[in-house]
Chain A
Amino acid sequence: MIRSETWSKQEMEGAAMPILEFKNVSKLYNGSTKALSNVNFTVNQGEFISIIGPSGAGKSTLLRCINRLIDVSEGTVIFDGEDITAVKGKELRKVRIKTGMIFQHYNLVDRLSVVENVLHGTLGRKSTLSGMAGHYTEDEKKLAFEIIESLGLSEQAYKRCDALSGGQKQRVGIARAIMQSPKLILCDEPIASLDPKASKVIMDHLAEINRTKNITCIVNLHQVDVALKYSQRIIGVSGGEIVFDGSPDELTQETIHRIYQSSSSDLITDVSGGQYEQ
């Protein structure tokens, strides 16, 4: 719904400005296990893309090649006009500042408060010493509280993160990513550990950030119905290869089965027709 209201395909392509490009990217683990093979795709500024595919298909690897948590074995990754395939040290930090990341298990520092976790988003821009000491400027603190409020976490701002619910933790994760003022947000199974209600809140927040701040979002998802509902474009990954790349309208049942390498009626989506349907 969000998709059809705000975007048409033409508009999207009209504003086309590539922010990310994968050229013949492959990733081998231990020199033999192929996690990605010959992956090619281009992402435009402001797109909301879902990556779907079975567990172990290489979705997480693909996402982590973008911010170089994983080094690619072959090929080129171009981000924001720069070849980042082999950048190191300071240059790599610059890339990572521009890409926020959201995780399935939130990956917060549980014993610190919400606002401290959100402020971690500024560490990349800080000097080593002031980052170590946790010394933040008034402007940074003000921004952190604004972001916390926009995600509806004002009451939790001073609470320790281990006192929060899953949905709240994930909102802290989003806040931390936004705090970086990124150009791109990578989401690795952001709703896989959440109930349907919290999942909707998280996906709505991501869609809103994408819309209002024009931040590109790439989201790994297990739920095909969620991908269909929220994204402008879906990439289907299977066995380390891209087997589908197109708009949600083009994603047929057949293609879904091809992505998940299953026969018809083997998938949960065949049964329910989408548990997130309103």
Chain B
Amino acid sequence: MSSKQMSVFRKRKITYIAAFAIILALYLFSSLITEFHISEGVRAFPDAVMWMAEKLIPDAKAFERFPKILEKLFETTLLSVAVTVIAAVCAFFFSLLGSKTTRLNGIINRLVRMIASFFRNVPDVVWAMLLMFSFGQNILTGFFALFFTTFGLLTRAFIETIDEVSSSSIEALNASGADFMQIVFQAIIPSSVTGLITWVLYMIETNIRSSTLIGILTATGIGYLFDMYYKRLEFGSASLVVLSIVVLVILIEMLSNMLRKVIQ
């Protein structure tokens, strides 16, 4: 091996060691500031598990409340589905304006991307906090908070899907004299529909999870039930809420995987 080849390998080794050292230093620094010690965390773990085993098993009272929990869970699921579908429809038309291959106007194109990125980058919980000022603790707050982030994220995702999947067929139909709406319905929708549906399904899953958290803030849906039981120290009921959310999310995930296979 020549000295040049040697130095390439040595450089690689030095890079790895330096990266490791930097990460270690960062950890030490931040744990010093926050007074968090991993050893304490680990030591506290067995106690926490014992406590959970003792208190978090749903009791008889929890099961009496099960119908109510299911009802709220159902409400939350429906809200998430509704929000995602409405946001997806808006995002689709918006993404046509933001896509590079279909764009009608450079300024609108950039504007759309900026708006989408703004809505996407503000987390839904922050949206919920903001909207509470205007709507109060209301289901509309949760609805709009989820709508904004979903809209922002789906617009971005749809733009990429459309650009990736259909740019070549858009060019072909353009060359044959088709107009914009014809191209949308004959080329863009057929070639990107599976990609779009996959994103919508993913957002429905995500929104069911997020709506739980937002519900705690806005005192609606399943989040509200959890918050209430937890604060009343009725841990059995609270844990039943958590368990049913887990089961629901897994079910939805399985369902959307099945759907994805069907529409391939």
Does A6 interact with chain B (Cβ within 8 Å)?
Answer: no
The complex places the Cα of A124 from the Cα of B179 at a distance, in Å, of 7
Please give me the residue from chain A that is nearest to B194 by CB atom: A111
B: contact size bracket: 20 to 34
The reply to whether B185 and A108 form a contact with Cβ atoms under 8 Å apart is no
Known contacts A110-B191, A111-B191: A131-B171 contact under CB 8 Å? no
Please give me the residue from chain A that is nearest to B180 by CB atom: A128
The complex places the Cα of A127 from the Cα of B179 at a distance, in Å, of 9
Does B140 interact with chain A (Cβ within 8 Å)?
Answer: no
B171, B175, B177, B182 pick with most chain A CB within 10 angstroms:
B177
Does A109 interact with chain B (Cβ within 8 Å)?
Answer: yes
Does A176 interact with chain B (Cβ within 8 Å)?
Answer: yes
The reply to whether B181 and A101 form a contact with Cβ atoms under 8 Å apart is no
The complex places the Cα of A97 from the Cα of B176 at a distance, in Å, of 5
Interface 1/0 per residue, A193-217 and B, CB below 8 Å? 0000000000000000000000000
CB proximity of A231 to chain B, nearest CB, Å: 22
CB-contact partner of A107 in B168, B177, B184, under 8 A: B168
Interface 1/0 per residue, B167-198 and A, CB below 8 Å? 01101111111110110111100110110000
CB proximity of A225 to chain B, nearest CB, Å: 28
Which B residues are in CB contact (< 8 Å) with A124?
A: 176-178
Which B residues are in CB contact (< 8 Å) with A105?
A: 168
The reply to whether A96 and B169 form a contact with Cβ atoms under 8 Å apart is no
Please give me the residue from chain A that is nearest to B182 by CB atom: A131
Known contacts A69-B171, A99-B175: A120-B191 contact under CB 8 Å? no
The reply to whether A107 and B182 form a contact with Cβ atoms under 8 Å apart is no
The complex places the Cα of A186 from the Cα of B172 at a distance, in Å, of 11
Interface 1/0 per residue, B142-182 and A, CB below 8 Å? 00000000000000000000000010110111111111011
A: contact size bracket: 35 or more
The B interface, classified by DSSP as helix, strand, loop or mixed, is helix
Please give me the residue from chain B that is nearest to A94 by CB atom: B177
Does A67 interact with chain B (Cβ within 8 Å)?
Answer: yes
CB proximity of B103 to chain A, nearest CB, Å: 15
CB proximity of A107 to chain B, nearest CB, Å: 4
The reply to whether B181 and A128 form a contact with Cβ atoms under 8 Å apart is yes
CB proximity of A92 to chain B, nearest CB, Å: 8
The complex places the Cα of A173 from the Cα of B182 at a distance, in Å, of 18
CB-contact partner of A69 in B175, B179, B184, under 8 A: B175
The complex places the Cα of A173 from the Cα of B194 at a distance, in Å, of 24
The complex places the Cα of A94 from the Cα of B211 at a distance, in Å, of 52
Does A243 interact with chain B (Cβ within 8 Å)?
Answer: no
Within 100-119 of A, Cβ neighbours of B (below 8 Å) are at 100-101, 103, 105-112
Which A residues are in CB contact (< 8 Å) with B172?
A: 101, 103, 107-108, 120, 173, 176
Does A50 interact with chain B (Cβ within 8 Å)?
Answer: no
Q: Give the number of residue pairs across the A-B interface with Cβ within 8 Å.
A: 86
The reply to whether B186 and A123 form a contact with Cβ atoms under 8 Å apart is yes
The complex places the Cα of A126 from the Cα of B168 at a distance, in Å, of 22
The complex places the Cα of A224 from the Cα of B238 at a distance, in Å, of 76
Which B residues are in CB contact (< 8 Å) with A176?
A: 172, 176
Does A134 interact with chain B (Cβ within 8 Å)?
Answer: yes
Which A residues are in CB contact (< 8 Å) with B193?
A: 111
Known contacts A111-B191, A132-B186, A134-B185: A120-B171 contact under CB 8 Å? no
The reply to whether B175 and A101 form a contact with Cβ atoms under 8 Å apart is yes
The complex places the Cα of A171 from the Cα of B184 at a distance, in Å, of 24
Interface 1/0 per residue, A114-155 and B, CB below 8 Å? 000000110111101001111000000000000000000000
The complex places the Cα of A100 from the Cα of B176 at a distance, in Å, of 6
Which A residues are in CB contact (< 8 Å) with B175?
A: 67, 69, 96, 99, 101, 186
The reply to whether A180 and B177 form a contact with Cβ atoms under 8 Å apart is yes
Which A residues are in CB contact (< 8 Å) with B174?
A: 69, 96
Does A93 interact with chain B (Cβ within 8 Å)?
Answer: yes
Please give me the residue from chain B that is nearest to A104 by CB atom: B168
The reply to whether A109 and B186 form a contact with Cβ atoms under 8 Å apart is yes
CB proximity of A103 to chain B, nearest CB, Å: 6
The reply to whether A133 and B185 form a contact with Cβ atoms under 8 Å apart is yes
Which A residues are in CB contact (< 8 Å) with B178?
A: 120, 123-124, 131
Known contacts A126-B182, A132-B185: A109-B169 contact under CB 8 Å? yes
Which A residues are in CB contact (< 8 Å) with B187?
A: 109, 120
Known contacts A96-B175, A123-B177: A109-B191 contact under CB 8 Å? yes
The reply to whether B177 and A93 form a contact with Cβ atoms under 8 Å apart is yes
17 contacts between A and B (CB under 8 A): A69-B174, A97-B177, A99-B175, A101-B176, A103-B168, A105-B168, A107-B168, A109-B190, A112-B190, A120-B178, A123-B186, A124-B177, A124-B178, A126-B182, A128-B182, A177-B176, A180-B176
Q: A97-B177, A123-B173, A177-B176 are in contact. List 17 more A-B contacts (CB 8 A).
A: A97-B176, A101-B176, A103-B168, A106-B168, A107-B169, A107-B172, A108-B172, A109-B190, A111-B190, A111-B194, A120-B176, A120-B187, A123-B177, A123-B178, A134-B186, A176-B176, A180-B177
Interface residues of B (CB under 8 A from A): 166, 168-169, 171-179, 181-182, 184-187, 190-191, 193-194
